[in-house]
Amino acid sequence: MSLVYEEVCDLAHLPALVTKIKEALGDSGVLLLRGNLASGKTAFVKAFATLLGLKEAISSPTFSILQEYDGKLFHYDIYQCGVEGFVQSGLMEKFESDGYHLVEWGGAEFEKLLQHYGVPYSTLDITPLPSQRHYKVTIHAYA
């Protein structure tokens, strides 16, 4: 069973959307962030970090694959390494850690990987508009 909702907002209203998503995820969860280059994936992660009260500067971990913030937020970027590189890096076990795991570029192949390992996840598809973004959130309910 899944909960799907869509919202259009600008950066000023992004914190309200982030709050809704965090509430839907609960105390932890894996969220795949999907969208083209410059669609706002890292901006979403920054807003999420602010909601969690994190003070560190947030940047995309394009070459390091993972940035971990205070054991609360795990920010992955698999653009450069792909699914195979992610698996080879040994980071699958990180999903066992409590906290929020936000994965940039978590497409269909990455979903199959998570399904294979039984890792519950939700998705956020971001589409740029002239001065806003369209967000489609799919929160999967797992028993």
Domain ranges of the chain: 2-140
Closest CA to 17 of 7, 4, 3, 30: 7
pLDDT tens per residue across span 25-68: 999 999 999 998 878 899 999 999 999 999 888 877 666 789 99
Second CATH level (architecture) for the domain 2-140: 3-Layer(aba) Sandwich (3.40)
Which residues are registered as beta bridge partners of 17? Answer: none
What pLDDT, on the 0 to 100 scale, is given for residue 84? 85
Which residues are registered as beta bridge partners of 72? Answer: none
Percent of the chain with pLDDT strictly greater than 70:
95
**pTM exceeds 0.85:** yes
Question: What is the strand order of the sheet 66-69 is part of?
Answer: 2-9, 133-140, 122-128, 29-34, 100-104, 73-77, 66-69
Q: What is d(CA 12, CA 66) in angstroms, rounded to the nearest whole number? A: 27
Longest dimension (CA), the chain: 39
Most confident range (mean pLDDT) of 10-24, 72-86, 129-143 is: 10-24
